[in-house]
Amino acid sequence: MKPMHILMLASIALIAPAISHAQVAGTTVLGVSVAEMREVTLGWSVKHTILGQHVYNDKNERVGTVDDLIVTPDKAVSYAIVNVGGFLGLAKHDVAIPVSQLKLIDKKLVLPGATKEALKASPEFQYAQ
């Protein structure tokens, strides 16, 4: 055998295990499974239930608006960024609120015990550059 043929056969032999373990088209699940679908349907829709929605306290006073959600590196939605600034976002003051503190009551997002003053006194959240 010529050296070029030996080199080609050796290359094929080295990559053959990788080729044999490659996934066959159509076998990868791209969406959620039927079992996972129940969890999805019971979850909150960010677009419809959370973003842009007013946040109230347990006295039904509006204390802010949800501007963003933070997904941590472990893929957990951990914090809601609530704007407690002035009219039309002027004097904007964003604070990070753990999502575990928000409650959905009568189709309203409620942050029990919150006041606008207390939230404005909280450290301001700023996005990393």
- pLDDT score at 41: 81
- 108-110 β-sheet, strand order: 94-98, 77-83, 62-71, 54-56, 108-110, 103-105
Token look-up 């006041």 returns: 115
Q: How far apart are CA 49 and CA 63, in angstroms?
A: 17
| Domains of the chain by residue range | 3-38, 43-120
Superfamily of 43-120 according to CATH: PRC-barrel domain (2.30.30.240)
In tens digits, the chain (129 residues) has pLDDT values of: 444 444 444 444 444 444 444 445 556 667 878 888 888 888 767 787 789 999 999 999 999 999 999 988 888 888 999 999 866 656 789 999 999 999 989 989 999 999 999 999 999 999 887
pTM for the model? 0.65
- pLDDT score at 86: 65
DSSP state of 51: T
CB atoms near residue 126 (< 10 Å)? 8
DSSP strand pairing (54-56 vs 62-71)? antiparallel
What secondary structure, in 3-state letters, does 87-110 show? HHHCCCCEEEEEHHHCEEECCEEE
Partnered with residue 95 across adjacent β-strands are: 82
